[in-house]
Structure 1
């Protein structure tokens, strides 16, 4: 029996048990995962961890009510107990007439994930190989003049297999592999200590950059932050470096999520068909991007995924919807359902790409004259209803169109609806990210520093 056959068998056993327990409809998920991670410090192994196991989840629907249960033990007795408990829970849940599985004619027909190339066929790396990769990244960071120490260098590998089945006849699964490597470097000491990092992750080991490249970048970024101080206070242009620009677009995506819109808790709730970005900007979701970890042929409700434009030429085209939120809003699902073993489906996005500009990041910095380049962020205060925005930030101060000195301990603020329609994009669209967003210049934000 293959691993997928075992997972499919568990999912089907859950559905059979749910039907016996009295469920009107049910869907089930079986997930097997294994991961190894190592941390290196001072050229030696600091920490190593291996985790593996199988988790199963069941959702039952009964007269407009639903309940979800999950377990990491999967004997026949456990499965029967899960089904009985889920049905009992569903009988006590509130009625929601929008709940329900997809109709058979809505289900994905093409479910073979081969075209997405999500599983590295090569052998899994040994712990020693992961340790060596982390050691090389650490050594490269330490070789940068000005780096005092490397807080940690970490490498990991994982494999996941998932099977999803429903009482509506859907049954399909896929496997996914992953590699990652990161390093955190420190410069200075005491109160003058500054740190920065670099990291990459890929589905295939062959797509990973060399460990030395990651280590050098972490060390260089840390040294560039030496002597950071607070910036002035006032209204200035802010350039979101491509490392953090995706967070800005992430707020737009969250506000366009059907769950938030249906609750009335979105600052975009009245903006469908209106400009939310400047003309010329598209925001595209492509769940079929090969060798990217978020890609998928079908969503968590068995619907076929497809590329779509969330924003076209600056205008908001639609919400991100699963079946239930689509029914609440009188719209069709965008095949965006996501779920874990112990949770019901909810809308989510996969691979996003924002239209890049035609000018370099340095060109935008020259145009700023005086302002702030943000390279890292911490904390968040965003009003989901109004779009009022405030975040802690660090980066570099710009004078006369050139970077003058590093800054820390400042706050940037504005209103997202106003900020996003004033963005200018650089041409530095990053590769291999779930959200591919270039550096973004935003005019007239508030900076609170020293």
Structure 2
């Protein structure tokens, strides 16, 4: 919570003070990040309020760079005397750190501007105006719809509505200053159905947005969660085989996450990516174009400047199957002789590192049903489990559930199978991309089909 000593002081002013104090203590270069927030969480389960949490926070992260020696510290004690001591201690730590010739702040010519924040639609005053009663009502509507959707829904894990109203401010010693407010709202529901053999079949669905107007209808979120649970009743294992695999949009998003983790300058200089040496070469099928765009209005990953104050921009990772390049922050760019792509992410206690913002697999022209129509036998994936992905080699193996496809139609639900392959081969074997682009947080993808993967069952 904000202390009395900092009450009413804007986040940008706190960041300025930290930089001034660090410079006064002898810092060569420094930057300060302040993050403030008020969060609420409401969970309704079986018609009753099970959880109601409201909390506020403010924190400051300070990075000091002394002749290539870097120290990063964080604090929530922002009283004047405490902040002065904190800045001095951070400078002392930097003086004894190991030197790194690539450490440093961005060039001023790369700085972005917070003036662009308003156009990005990152703040919705309607979220701030929601009362506790209204939040409970939204969660209640969602869970009630899930329970009423089908008589086979016997239980739920509740419906949870979460909101956040906050501000981000960044100041550095080379003259950058920027701040912007941001809001978020999310709703998630999990419904449970009982199978004939006594197994519980859970199904969940969610919506997460920057603004209340974009949040999915609460009742529809509940109904979809219920349907996904009921659809898994009677699920069984197919025999082990090699067949086409179709990923629904939410599962296709998970493939984007694997690729993005490999397409960073950090992964490249550490030798921890299968994408090394592939820039400018075919990687995926011509159906595949993937962009990282922090300038999309109202989206979770949007931001006017990155974690170092660099202007953000749209970056194309894959264009019509060709791998166009990696995402860089200033450090990884210097280390590899490249230029920053404005892709630095930052936490209070961690330094900048390259990361994706809004990651989008561009939709195709086909209806989702067209991807099933010519499949004689195949798997339609609606759930993935485990973390079986090796970024250095691209090897992929994950537990899955969904539906078996026969003669172009959904035949029966499938559970406890494993799908395996190599991400590079999987991307190259995408032979269909649908037109049903759907957003899940900061990522979006349509339904896609991979020509063949190994499906391990019984």
CA–CA distance in 2 between the matches of 1:110 and 1:45? 39
Partner of 1:298 in structure 2?
305
CA–CA distance in 1 between the matches of 2:8 and 2:308? 19
1:323 pairs, out of 318, 327, 330, with: 330
Partner of 1:447 in structure 2?
455
Confirm or deny that 1:139 pairs with 2:147: no
Confirm or deny that 1:399 pairs with 2:369: no
CA–CA distance in 1 between the matches of 2:341 and 2:102? 16
Partner of 1:435 in structure 2?
443
Uncovered stretches (5+) of structure 1, i.e. residues with no partner: none
CA–CA distance in 1 between the matches of 2:443 and 2:330? 24
Is the 2:402–2:414 contact (alpha carbons within 8 Å) kept by the matching residues of 1?
yes
CA–CA distance in 2 between the matches of 1:76 and 1:112? 31
Deviation at 1:128, TM superposition (A): 1.4
Partner of 2:71 in structure 1?
67
> Which structure 2 residues correspond to residues 216-365 of structure 1 after superposition, within 5 A?
216-365=223-372
CA–CA distance in 2 between the matches of 1:232 and 1:260? 37
State the aligned residue count: 450
Alpha-carbon spacing, 1:115–1:432, altered in 2? closer, same or farther (3 Å): farther
Confirm or deny that 1:125 pairs with 2:137: no
CA–CA distance in 1 between the matches of 2:407 and 2:217? 36
Is the 2:288–2:361 contact (alpha carbons within 8 Å) kept by the matching residues of 1?
yes
Residues 273-331 of structure 1, C-alpha deviation per residue, up to 9 Å, x if partnerless?
11111124321222111111221111111111122212222111111000010111111
Is the 1:356–1:427 contact (alpha carbons within 8 Å) kept by the matching residues of 2?
yes
CA–CA distance in 1 between the matches of 2:177 and 2:260? 30
Alpha-carbon spacing, 1:137–1:269, altered in 2? closer, same or farther (3 Å): same
RMSD of the alignment, in Å?
1.8
> Which structure 2 residues correspond to residues 141-156 of structure 1 after superposition, within 5 A?
141-145=146-150, 146-156=152-162
Deviation at 1:255, TM superposition (A): 1.1
Which range is displaced more, 67-76 or 202-211? Answer: 202-211
Deviation at 1:110, TM superposition (A): 5.8
Deviation at 1:4, TM superposition (A): 8.8
CA–CA distance in 1 between the matches of 2:66 and 2:115? 28
TM-score by length of 1: 0.96
Partner of 1:116 in structure 2?
120
Is the 2:209–2:441 contact (alpha carbons within 8 Å) kept by the matching residues of 1?
no
> Which structure 2 residues correspond to residues 27-66 of structure 1 after superposition, within 5 A?
27-66=31-70
Is the 1:177–1:204 contact (alpha carbons within 8 Å) kept by the matching residues of 2?
yes
Deviation at 1:115, TM superposition (A): 0.6
CA–CA distance in 1 between the matches of 2:429 and 2:273? 20
Q: Which runs of at least 4 in structure 1 moved beyond 6 Å after TM superposition? A: none
CA–CA distance in 2 between the matches of 1:50 and 1:20? 38
TM-score by length of 2: 0.95
Deviation at 1:101, TM superposition (A): 0.5
Partner of 2:382 in structure 1?
375
Deviation at 1:8, TM superposition (A): 1.5
Partner of 2:3 in structure 1?
none
Alpha-carbon spacing, 1:336–1:248, altered in 2? closer, same or farther (3 Å): same
Residues 333-390 of structure 1, C-alpha deviation per residue, up to 9 Å, x if partnerless?
0000110111100001111222222212222112221111111111112122111111
Partner of 1:185 in structure 2?
191
Uncovered stretches (5+) of structure 2, i.e. residues with no partner: 1-5
Is the 2:404–2:410 contact (alpha carbons within 8 Å) kept by the matching residues of 1?
yes
Alpha-carbon spacing, 1:284–1:159, altered in 2? closer, same or farther (3 Å): same
Is the 1:286–1:350 contact (alpha carbons within 8 Å) kept by the matching residues of 2?
yes
CA–CA distance in 1 between the matches of 2:191 and 2:77? 41
Residues 99-118 of structure 1, C-alpha deviation per residue, up to 9 Å, x if partnerless?
10012222124634111111
Secondary structure at the residue paired with 2:37? strand
CA–CA distance in 2 between the matches of 1:46 and 1:170? 45
CA–CA distance in 1 between the matches of 2:255 and 2:107? 36
